[in-house]
Structure formats: C-alpha cells, structure tokens
Amino acid sequence: MLARVRSAAVLGIDAYLVDVETDIANGLPTFATVGLPQGAVKEGRERVFAALANTGYTFPLKRITVNLAPADIRKDGSAFDLPIAVGILAATEQIAGERLARVAVLGELGLEGAIRPVRGALPVALAARAAGLEALVLPRENLPEVADFLDGRGELPEAQVDLAGLFAERAKDDVDFAEVRGQAHAKRALEVAAAGGHNILMIGPPGSGKTMLARRLPTILPRMSLDEALETTKIHSVTGVLPLGESLVARRPFRAPHHTISDAGLIGGGSYPRPGEVSLAHGGVLFLDELPEFRKNVLEVLRQPMEDGVVTIARAAMSLSYPARFMLAAAMNPCPCGYFGDPHHNCVCGPLGVERYLARVSGPLLDRIDIHLEVPAVKYRALADQSGTEPSEAVRERVDRARVVQRERFGHRPGVYANAHMAARDIRTFCRVSDGADALLRTAITRLALSARAYHRILKIARTIADLEGAADLQPKHVSEAIQYRSLDRRGLG
C-alpha cells in the first residue's frame, strides 16, 4: 500500500514542497530511500525505526521504499524523519490519516519518539500556505501526538500569531540616539547617511564613540515593512540564528563581525552554502570596526553584494543566492596608535605610518563609501551637556520624509530607490546646482584637487541634504556641508 505525506525542504531562503511517498510491499525486509537523499536523510531510517518501536507502533518487516519527490533536487537535513514515520504508519494502516492530504509535516525524530526543532520553519510555512495547505505540523511534543492528530482523534495546539501585535512589539528599538551625548556633527552625518542610504566610514580615536553611534544607526533608518521583516526573518531562520521564542525580525539588523572573520563567514559558504554576515545584515547595517585590520581578500568579497544587493555562492554541489542589501558603516582609528590629530595626545606613528595605515582601506571598497566622517574625542564638557539629545524617533521622521521624496524621484528607475544608488546620468538629471553652489564646487575642486568620482559623491550627498530640507535645487549650504563629509579626499586619498 502507498501513502503520501506532504513535507518541504529549504533551498536558499525559500522552501519547496516535497512529497514523501511510502510504499510497503511483501518481500525481504528492506528500507530504501530514493530521490537524492543526502547523509542526514539516509540516517533518518535508524531514527524512524527506533522511534516507531519505542512508541508502541509496529515497524513492518517488509520491503519499504520511500521516494522524495521531486526526485531531481538533493534533500538534506533531518526534517524528513517525521513525514517518513507518518508515511509508514499510514501505509501500514496503523493510522487512518484523515488529515494527511491537507497538511505539511516536518520534524526530526529522537530515538524515543520525541520531535526535535528544525531550521527554516518560516519559509516552509510560507510555501505550505502558497500551496493551499491548511496547516503545517511542526515539532512540539512527540510522534503519538502527531499520529492522533492526523487520525482526527486529537487536536494539536494551534500556533496563534497576532502578527500586527508581534510586529509592533518586536519593532521597538533597544537603544536610542538620545543616549549619545555630544557629537552633534557625527549625529548629523549619520542622519544624512540614513536619509540617502549612503555608506559611511567614521575615523576617530579610541573611545570617541564610533561603535556607540553605529549601533544606533538602525534606529534612525525607516521602519521595516512587514515584507522586509519576513524576508530578513527567512534568512535568520534558515541560518538557525533566530533566538528561541524570537519568531520575527522586525528591527533592522545590526551585524558587527570581528575583523578576524573569514570571507566565507562574511558572504556565506559551506558545502551546503549558508548565508553569511552580509545576508544576516540584509535590510539593516553591517558594521566593520577597525576596518584596516580586516584581511584584504575579505574586504574584496564585499564588492559584489554591495553592488548587486544579493550574494551568489557557487559550490560544486549547487549555487545559491541570498539577499544582501545592507548599509555599510565602518570605523577606524586615524593611525595605528589612534592619536593622529588629537590635541591631547602625541601620535607616535610618523607621517609614513599614518599614510600606510590609510592606504590599507583605499581602493575599491572606499569607492563605495560616500561619507567619510571625522569623529573627534569628546571633551568632558560635551559629555555633561544635556542638550542635543534628540530621540531616534524624531530623527527617523526626517529620514522618512527625505526617503519619500527619493521614492517619488526614482519611481521609474528600477534598482534605484535612494540617492546613494544614483548613476552618473541620474546625477546629471537630479542634482541641479544653483549658481552660487556651482562657484563653490569649482573652488573646492581646484583647491582640494578632487577627482571626478569625488565630485559625483559630493553631488549625491548634497542631494540628500537638500532632500532633508525639502529643497529642489542644490544650494551653497548643501554643497559646503557635503564637502565636509569627504575628509579622506581632503587628505588626497579619495
């Protein structure tokens, strides 16, 4: 007799339905799994055997064939244990399986019949819903409980999700801009970066608050939409980094990998490629502290995701793509000792040491960073200053307004939704400068010996500053503020 159990497998961040077909025939006792099962799926036979025996069911001593359809995609992981066990119960008529056709089943079995959690439950639930199934049966208790449910003899507790409530609750930030005292100039630069989607590099001595500032960048970015939250949650779900009980990532993620990270850790990898930090930061901020300490080849692999918003990992077994659209925030000391340019400390690095240190981050990565910001050490008086502690929510409102202007502007430009993504032709169209601003730009180009690239960056940033103000044309004050955010150009490095 043949039984069919609906299940699913995750490929990348999406799931596809898998039909687990179990055929039981007379003959020598064998147990074969076909349909490209990988190691963990094959081992499942032992777990299924033990789980059935230990929960009082009969394991048939016959010829058992399990087919995982579609047969041409590799299946990995232990989540097929439960559907295979259920298939055997249905094929041997130990359960009637009333509800089998209308639900998807997923779970790893313990030898004693307990069901263990699996990764990627969210993508599977979405795929099951798309296929018109009524429910997804997920690990909670044990095999007999599931069997009773499928037989129509018992009910399982339904996972009730108040999505709107959950979303609102999870969306609350745990840090706030108001906690950063002083640093008005740096906060303003972060606001500009958030408003235009500009990547940012902060340069300052140890203890100047660069990490504290970066950590709060997600709190002034526009709130995530539900679709964005689901997409980021899927990535965290298949990576297995969702903390227990945390079912939805509704806050923009902040990922801060250590500078010793490998390229696989950063962009993803493994024989079955898993998402890396760039994908875990999808929709949020990737923070690279001590930027010059990262290995060169690691920084180089950042280029592709930064350009495409997606990362493709090719392995012999398969090639997978993961979303990876993030804002890059990086930080570095001004020199190896950290005190170059500090009026209260002596720098011991020497001009050559400083230059060599800065040169480590120049090049292709620097080309993708619009804003360079000097973050000086904060004086005691500024720390004690209670003014200028505007909450994140107030900043976010201004950022939101500037983003609305940009969405309208780029409505007909696929792939461009913030000023940071403008190509040269967009800059010509959308960055009209007033006469006064034009004169200022000419002077700056000559005096600072700016490259054409730096000139374009200044126009993009000035566009964002004007958008924050609701101004149509770029005025001198917008351009002069933008020039301030190109400090490495002023040092001849841009």
Total residues binding Zn ion (CB under 5 A): 5
User: CB-side exposure of 29: number of CA atoms within 13 Å?
Assistant: 4
Q: Where are the beta strands (DSSP E) in 300-381?
A: 310-314, 319-323, 327-332, 371-374
- Which CB sits closer to Zn ion, 205 or 305? 205
- Which CB sits closer to Zn ion, 63 or 360? 360
Q: For the CB of residue 359, give the shortest distance to Zn ion in the complex, in Å.
A: 15
Region of 101-109, 246-254, 345-353, 431-439 interacting with Zn ion (CB under 5 A): 345-353
Instruction: Determine which residue in the list 59, 340, 357, 410 makes contact with Zn ion, applying CB under 5 A.
Output: 340
* C-alpha dist (Å) from residue 404 to 196, 410, 464: 11, 10, 12
- Please, are residues 143 and 115 in contact by the beta-carbon 8 Å criterion? yes
Q: For the CB of residue 352, give the shortest distance to Zn ion in the complex, in Å.
A: 11
Give the C-alpha separation, 120 to 141, whole Å: 18
- Which CB sits closer to Zn ion, 210 or 325? 210
Q: Where are the alpha helices (DSSP H) in 162-219?
A: 163-170, 184-196, 210-215
Q: For the CB of residue 357, give the shortest distance to Zn ion in the complex, in Å.
A: 8
Which of 88, 68, 86 has the alpha carbon at shortest distance from 20?
Answer: 68
- Which residues, 6+ apart, have CB-to-CB distance to 316 below 8 Å? none
- Which CB sits closer to Zn ion, 335 or 474? 335
- Which CB sits closer to Zn ion, 80 or 340? 340
What letters, b where the CB count within 10 A reaches 16 and e where it falls short, cover 236-268?
Answer: bbbbeebeeeebbbbbbbbbbbeeebebebbbb
Contact between 377 and Zn ion per CB under 5 A: no
Site string for Zn ion, 317-336 (x = CB under 5 A): ------------------x-
- Which CB sits closer to Zn ion, 340 or 430? 340
Judged on CB neighbours under 10 Å (0-12, 13-18, 19+), 269 is middle
Contact between 10 and Zn ion per CB under 5 A: no
Tokens 């509704």 correspond to: 250
- Please, are residues 396 and 222 in contact by the beta-carbon 8 Å criterion? yes
Region of 215-223, 295-303, 346-354, 485-493 interacting with Zn ion (CB under 5 A): 346-354
Region of 260-268, 341-349, 366-374, 396-404 interacting with Zn ion (CB under 5 A): 341-349
Q: For the CB of residue 125, give the shortest distance to Zn ion in the complex, in Å.
A: 54
What is the CA angle 373-292-372, rounded to 5?
15
Q: For the CB of residue 333, give the shortest distance to Zn ion in the complex, in Å.
A: 8
Region of 118-126, 180-188, 317-325, 337-345 interacting with Zn ion (CB under 5 A): 337-345
Q: For the CB of residue 348, give the shortest distance to Zn ion in the complex, in Å.
A: 6
- Which CB sits closer to Zn ion, 347 or 441? 347
Which of 191, 170, 120, 109 has the alpha carbon at shortest distance from 144?
Answer: 109
Which of 111, 123, 122, 52 has the alpha carbon at shortest distance from 78?
Answer: 111
User: End-to-end alpha-carbon separation of the chain, Å?
Assistant: 72
Q: For the CB of residue 334, give the shortest distance to Zn ion in the complex, in Å.
A: 7
Give the C-alpha separation, 301 to 292, whole Å: 15
Contact between 349 and Zn ion per CB under 5 A: yes
Q: For the CB of residue 378, give the shortest distance to Zn ion in the complex, in Å.
A: 19
Contact between 347 and Zn ion per CB under 5 A: yes
Q: For the CB of residue 346, give the shortest distance to Zn ion in the complex, in Å.
A: 8
Which of 215, 251, 194 has the alpha carbon at shortest distance from 396?
Answer: 194
Region of 175-183, 238-246, 277-285, 349-357 interacting with Zn ion (CB under 5 A): 349-357
- Which CB sits closer to Zn ion, 181 or 356? 356
Q: For the CB of residue 468, give the shortest distance to Zn ion in the complex, in Å.
A: 35
- Which CB sits closer to Zn ion, 197 or 292? 292
Residues 438-457 touching Zn ion, rule: CB under 5 A, are none
What is the CA angle 218-341-386, rounded to 5?
50
- Which CB sits closer to Zn ion, 359 or 472? 359
Region of 55-63, 147-155, 156-164, 347-355 interacting with Zn ion (CB under 5 A): 347-355
Contact between 337 and Zn ion per CB under 5 A: yes
- Which CB sits closer to Zn ion, 311 or 335? 335
Q: For the CB of residue 363, give the shortest distance to Zn ion in the complex, in Å.
A: 22
Residues 159-218 touching Zn ion, rule: CB under 5 A, are none
Give the C-alpha separation, 58 to 433, whole Å: 81
DSSP-derived secondary structure for 375-389: -PPPPHHHHH--S--
- Which CB sits closer to Zn ion, 109 or 347? 347
Give the C-alpha separation, 80 to 63, whole Å: 19
- Please, are residues 128 and 104 in contact by the beta-carbon 8 Å criterion? yes
Region of 244-252, 297-305, 342-350, 438-446 interacting with Zn ion (CB under 5 A): 342-350
Tokens for 112? 């004693």
Q: For the CB of residue 376, give the shortest distance to Zn ion in the complex, in Å.
A: 15
Contact between 485 and Zn ion per CB under 5 A: no
- Which CB sits closer to Zn ion, 131 or 348? 348
* C-alpha dist (Å) from residue 427 to 364, 452, 461: 20, 12, 11
Interacting residues with Zn ion (CB under 5 A): 335, 337, 340, 347, 349
